[in-house]
Amino acid sequence: MREIIGLLLSAALAVLFCVMGLPLYFRKVKRNYFYGYRVSQYAMLDDDIWYAVNRQGGKHLIIIGGLLALNAFFAALFIGKIKAQGMILYIDLVITVGGVAYSVIKGLLLNNHLAREKGLKNHIHPKNIYKLNP
């Protein structure tokens, strides 16, 4: 098992990130409190902000999944080499954490930009946000 752990984890994470990202990218996820990029309270106020931020986030998740799939391909070249599989796991960690951090930061920036553009950012106090949701 140790001889292919990098391959298995890379492939599983690639599938997971792509499966999570595709519905977001294609705008199939309505505003909710369970699934989606809720990086700021303003995404829950406006459908345009919600879909724009989630489309961008979904694209990032698909890209992360693609990088992890590429990493799985390289892991397949090193089946049986435990040290190489360990390095693949480290690369998976860097891709996952770095990619998600980048995506959240970009989502927050887009969210705030769109909220300012729509006039939501300066007029709504965050404590009152739940009173506005349907």
Parse the chain into domains and list their residue ranges.
Answer: 5-26+39-132
* DSSP alpha helix (H) spans, the chain: 5-25, 47-77, 82-118, 129-132
pLDDT of residue 119: 84
pLDDT of residue 129: 52
pLDDT of residue 79: 93
pLDDT of residue 9: 95
Residues 113-133 have pLDDT tens digits of 999 898 887 655 555 555 544
Report, as ranges of residue numbers, the positions in the chain whose pLDDT lies below 70.
Answer: 122-134
pLDDT of residue 124: 53
